[in-house]
Amino acid sequence: MTDTVTIPRAEYEAMQARMADWNDRLDLAVIEERRAEPTLPLADVERLLAGEHPVRVWRQSRGLSTEALAATAGLTPAAVETIEQGHASATVADAQALARALGVTLDTLFGA
């Protein structure tokens, strides 16, 4: 047997309105909390999903040349190219430097 509760339609509609308002406030709170997080245009997200290296995608999205990113991160252009091409993994120190130079978190850049 299923327990049921019967309430007047006006009360039910008022409850639905309160729930919608509550959900809207939650959504706005999440948006506000994440407002400062770096974002990418959809085309760049699609590049990431297609498997392109995140360092290259973020670098190009920021309008940086390999040389400019390397200089800002304290690396050589060859090191940045090697990482972007997937021929070598970045050391923890290099990964942190690249993330800082790109203005993203380490997890954003190298997270799973």
Q: For the segment 22-50, what is each residue's pLDDT rounded down to a tens digit? A: 888 888 888 787 777 888 999 999 999 99
Placement of tokens 């498997």 in the chain: 51
Token pair 């919608």 in the structure block, residue: 20
Give the mean model confidence (pLDDT) for residues 69-83: 97
- pLDDT tens sequence across 44-67: 999 999 999 999 999 999 999 999
Return the domain boundaries, the chain: 42-110
In 3D space, the residue among 22, 26, 108 whose CA is nearest the CA of residue 62 turns out to be 108
Give the pLDDT score at 112: 58
pTM listed for this prediction: 0.69
For domain 42-110, the CATH class is mainly alpha
